Amino acid sequence: MDLTKQFVKYVSQNIFGLLGTSCYILADTYFIAQAAGTDGVTLLNLCLPIYNFIFAIGSMIGLGAATRYAILRAQGDEKAQRYFSNAIFCACILAVPFVLAGIFCPDGLLRLMGGDAGIVALGENYARIFLLFTPFFMCNYVVASFVRNDGDPSLAMVATLSGSLFNVVFDYIFIFPMGLGLPGAALATAISPMLSIAICSTHFLKKSNTVAFVRKAPSLRLLAQSCQLGISGFVGELSSGVTTTVFNFLLLRLAGNVAVAAYGVVANFALVATAIFNGVAQGAQPLVSQCYGRNEMAGAKKLLLLGCGTALGLAAVLYGVVFGFTDSLVALFNSENSALMAEFAHSGMRLYFAGYFFAGCNIVAAGYLGAVDRPTEASITSLCRGMAAIVVCSLVLSALFGMAGVWAAFPASEAITFALTLYLLKRGERTAKA
């Protein structure tokens, strides 16, 4: 199949799959807003960084191991077969601290994230439930990544969408008809990756399957080799958590819980936007890794250009929707009709989302660098956008411009990262030619 057609197939299916994942978080937010008002949205926004950290570890292990598998398989290396089972074992081991936190101290974790006594009382059982299911969240990343890299992106998409649809439907059933409240929302969210894993696992019964489960003890060496290539996925997911945490504390200081609730609206739509661009990057990754494994760097570069062009086009569409329907989008999560929350969220959406013109290309470029076994440069790009630049920009701009500065920190940090990413890509080209 033509490389461009393969790109369209893999990327479109991966975008739809990841959109489904992010849309169930929107559904969570909507139903929680209806059930618990502004405090419910505040609670969910304080929990988002915890979700992000769990997803970041799952993404690093799953995407990294699957990328390494794709490269080695293209090179005919038999060691490729060890990466799947090692990733599953390691994901389960790294999930243990989260499970223990869910059993013994979910309230302490919420206080650590900035929750006051009322928010902690409201969300303790919610946090306990989703933390207990951490192994399934992480393993879902591993299984889906390997299925996608084994030539079955359609099944990965169906599995992800099915899990998301289950979450949306049972969010409503558990919260309202069954009267479980916020713990019901957590339960629906926790069960959805189990369904996704079950559907993805049907791939291993197919004749076309090349992924094998190898019964060997977990290997730190294989984990490290996987994490090298998965670091961009880790930092990409973690960056949302870091951004949310920093913004939460800044907004709590500037305007209290209502500002955090407003940011909850912005952050949830931002998750959808980020999922779109992650869909482009992760969809292209198997193809880029195959080109790299076969030493077809012209094809890999073509995929990078296709990815960046797609990201810019999607960013334009996304910003047009946000700018044109800001009030309607905010109103979905403002069940108490808070004028102050609506004002904060309105200005925040329009400033914050301008950053995706840069962020889309940064995410695609970081994924490309990981896929062609340039983990150091992928890490630099991801760390800059996810940690360094966003923290510095938010602290400086909030001190200068208050809440407007908080919202503007995201586009400013992504613009800085974009300049750095262009330099790294051009330096890599010069090194390759030399």
Q: Compare 39 and 25 and report the one with higher pLDDT.
A: 39
Q: Which two tokens stand for residue 194?
A: 């189990």
Residue-wise burial string across 124-143, b where 16 or more C-beta atoms lie within 10 A, e elsewhere? bbbbbbbbbbbbbbbbbbbb
Q: Which two tokens stand for residue 326?
A: 């800001």
**Is residue 39 very low, low, confident or very high in pLDDT (cuts 50, 70, 90)?**
confident
**Is residue 120 very low, low, confident or very high in pLDDT (cuts 50, 70, 90)?**
very high
Q: What does the alpha-carbon distance between residue 326 and residue 328 come to, in Å, rounded to a whole number?
A: 6
Phi, psi of 350 (to 5 degrees): -70, -35
Please give the C-alpha separations between residue 399 and each of 47, 251, 395, in angstroms, as whole numbers: 26, 12, 6
Q: What does the alpha-carbon distance between residue 338 and residue 341 come to, in Å, rounded to a whole number?
A: 5
Q: Tally the domains of the chain.
A: 1
Residues 6+ apart with CB under 8 A from 434: none
**What's the count of helices (H) and strands (E) in the chain, helices before strands?**
16, 0
**If we measure between CA atoms, which residue out of 197, 214, 231 comes closest to residue 87?**
214
* Amino acid letter for position 157: M
Model confidence at 401: pLDDT above 90? yes
Q: What does the alpha-carbon distance between residue 11 and residue 19 come to, in Å, rounded to a whole number?
A: 12
**Is residue 42 very low, low, confident or very high in pLDDT (cuts 50, 70, 90)?**
confident
Centre a 10 Å sphere on the Cβ of residue 295 and count the other Cβ atoms it contains: 10
Q: Which pTM value belongs to this model?
A: 0.76
Phi, psi of 340 (to 5 degrees): -70, -45
Within the chain, what is the greatest distance between any pair of CA atoms? 66
The three-class DSSP label of residue 143 is helix
| Contact call for residues 89 and 115 (beta carbons, < 8 A) | no
Residues 6+ apart with CB under 8 A from 352: 266, 270, 407, 410, 411
> What is the CA 37 to chain-centroid distance, rounded?
26
Query: What is the tens place of the pLDDT at every residue in 216-270?
Result: 888 999 999 998 888 777 876 777 777 788 888 899 899 888 898 889 889 888 8
> What is the CA 26 to chain-centroid distance, rounded?
14
Query: What is the tens place of the pLDDT at every residue in 291-338?
Result: 999 999 999 999 999 999 999 999 999 999 999 999 999 988 887 888
Residues 6+ apart with CB under 8 A from 223: 61, 86, 87, 90
Q: What does the alpha-carbon distance between residue 258 and residue 404 come to, in Å, rounded to a whole number?
A: 15
Domain with 223 in it? 3-433
